[in-house]
């Protein structure tokens, strides 16, 4: 992975056996052994989404570990849906820490990666040092399983619901239209319009005209397209298909996260800010940047500044 436009080069990936699978892992800053920071991507992304952050974190003295998580890139893509539940996904990260000989690390997550980091702090609190999450705030466990609740509130066309109720349908359409789907998804400054009827992700895959402006260059987008030509979309979508299972798996855990936390929102993101964040994450600090959902790619310099200043302030 490389991006000629910003002169940041990814090192070659390494395949690492963890948790009964293989993870494709990018690593930088080995000379900073002892200060680990793990970057967790979202959907439909991969390690390349952190290309602007890696060099700056290395300069700040961190050993940066960036996996393509299960279902992505060259990492294993198990066929069983249940192998993408929260215990497997957080277990992969714990096994990655064990591989590198670390008791704990600071974790940075974006989108689905943020959800994994929140869950990691609940399931394995002693393995987490600090948390920085982008776009997705902590989602408290309500009285109803998440997909059941979403179906009641948002209906059958909501893409979370659709992924679960019509297994395989969206996967096939996204796979058939990889370049068009990703090109239409990774946009910014999209004019406000009424949402079209139908399922958002399928609409994006089929739309021949893009709205707004591209977030990345054609060469950068090609890295994503190439990665999904290897993995397909089913593995990543299977993360969604475990949300109700995860709801059950998290039932008996203390829902309060005590770790020092930075939450970064995009002001133009469709995901709403949490009004209850500090009820569940009492040591969270919150900042917002003037951008959409893909915060670290849309506003890399501002994101880096926010992350590095917070890490320096909490350097204990």
Q: What is the set of active-site residues?
A: 111, 293
71: three-class secondary structure by DSSP: coil
Contact 11, 26 (CB under 8 A): yes
Contact 24, 15 (CB under 8 A): yes
Tokens matching residue 308: 């590095």
15: three-class secondary structure by DSSP: strand
Say how far apart CA 156 and CA 154 lie, in whole Å.
Answer: 7
Say how far apart CA 92 and CA 38 lie, in whole Å.
Answer: 12
Task: Provide DSSP, 134-170.
Answer: ES-------SS-HHHHHHHHH-TTSHHHHHHHSTTHH
Beta strands 105-110 and 36-40, pairing class = parallel
Contact 205, 181 (CB under 8 A): yes
Q: What are phi and psi of 125, to 5 degrees?
A: -60, -30
- Dihedral (Cα; 40, 266, 144, 44), 10-degree rounding: -40
Which contacts of 76-81 are long-range, i.e. CB under 8 A and separated by 24 or more positions?
Answer: 76/21, 76/22, 76/23, 77/231, 77/232, 77/234, 77/235, 78/21, 78/235, 81/167, 81/238, 81/241, 81/242
Contact 102, 32 (CB under 8 A): no
Residue 55 DSSP class: H
Q: What are phi and psi of 158, to 5 degrees?
A: -55, 135
Q: Please, which residues bridge with residue 92 across strands? A: none
């Amino acid at each position: 992975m490389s991006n000629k436009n910003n002169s940041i080069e990814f090192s070659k990936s390494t395949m690492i056996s963890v948790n009964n699978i293989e993870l494709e892992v990018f690593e930088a800053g080995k000379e900073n052994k002892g200060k680990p920071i793990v970057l967790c991507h979202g959907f439909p992304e991969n390690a390349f989404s952190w290309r602007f952050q890696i060099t700056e974190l290395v300069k700040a003295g961190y050993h940066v570990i960036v996996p393509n998580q299960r279902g992505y890139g060259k990492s294993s893509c198990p066929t069983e849906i249940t192998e993408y539940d929260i215990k497997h996904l957080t277990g992969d990260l714990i096994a990655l820490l064990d591989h590198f000989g670390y008791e704990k690390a600071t974790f940075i997550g974006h989108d689905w990666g943020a959800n994994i980091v929140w869950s990691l702090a609940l399931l394995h609190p002693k393995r987490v040092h600090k948390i920085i999450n982008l776009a997705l705030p902590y989602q408290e466990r309500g009285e109803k399983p998440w997909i059941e609740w979403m179906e009641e509130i948002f209906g059958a066309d909501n893409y979370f619901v659709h992924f679960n109720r019509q297994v395989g349908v969206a996967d096939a359409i996204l796979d058939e239209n990889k370049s068009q789907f990703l090109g239409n998804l990774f946009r910014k400054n999209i004019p406000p319009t009424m949402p079209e009827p139908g399922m958002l992700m399928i609409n994006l895959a089929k739309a021949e005209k893009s709205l707004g402006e591209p977030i990345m260059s054609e060469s950068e987008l090609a890295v994503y397209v190439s990665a999904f030509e290897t993995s397909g979309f089913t593995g990543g979508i299977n993360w969604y298909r475990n949300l109700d299972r995860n709801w059950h798996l998290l039932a008996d855990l203390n829902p309060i996260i005590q770790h020092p936390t930075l939450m970064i929102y995009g002001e133009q993101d469709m995901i709403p800010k949490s009004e209850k964040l500090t009820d569940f994450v009492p040591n969270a600090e919150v900042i917002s940047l003037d951008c959409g959902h893909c915060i670290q790619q849309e506003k890399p310099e501002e994101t880096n500044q926010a992350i590095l200043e917070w890490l320096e302030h909490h350097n204990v």
